[in-house]
Structure 1
Amino acid sequence: MARFYFNLEGKHNVDDPGGLAFENELQAFRAAQRLANALASVQPPLRGTTCVVVTRNDRGESYYVSV
């Protein structure tokens, strides 16, 4: 299993120091989508701004999901 880190970047930056283990990148990407949807629901001001969920894996590759 690879470790993935979920950061929030944009107006409010949040770094994930611990990360989570997932079987593959698709599972991690879907988790990032769920996180982005939850953030948009709970924090409507973030929706449509430059805020994105940045998912990094332990190989340094990144994936971006808009909030």
Structure 2
Amino acid sequence: MKKSISKLFSKRLRVRMAELNISATDLSNEINVSRNTLNLCRSGKAKMIKFETIAELCKGLYVQPDYFFKEK
């Protein structure tokens, strides 16, 4: 069964943040994304994520956009 895109995105975001050992607060301070937005993305409750948010997350987490959308 396929996961929803928001659930997949949130899982990959949590995994990458754990790999880099970075908190939502620290990541938010590094990039141009609020902690509230990060928490919504991490929980899978974000319904629409702006391209700019994904771009900022990619910069802060050192990944390409496709990282968040592919299952391992």
**Aligning the two structures, in what range does the TM-score lie when normalised by the shorter sequence?**
0.3 to 0.5
Q: Greater share of strand residues, 1 or 2?
A: 1
TM-score normalised per structure 2: 0.31
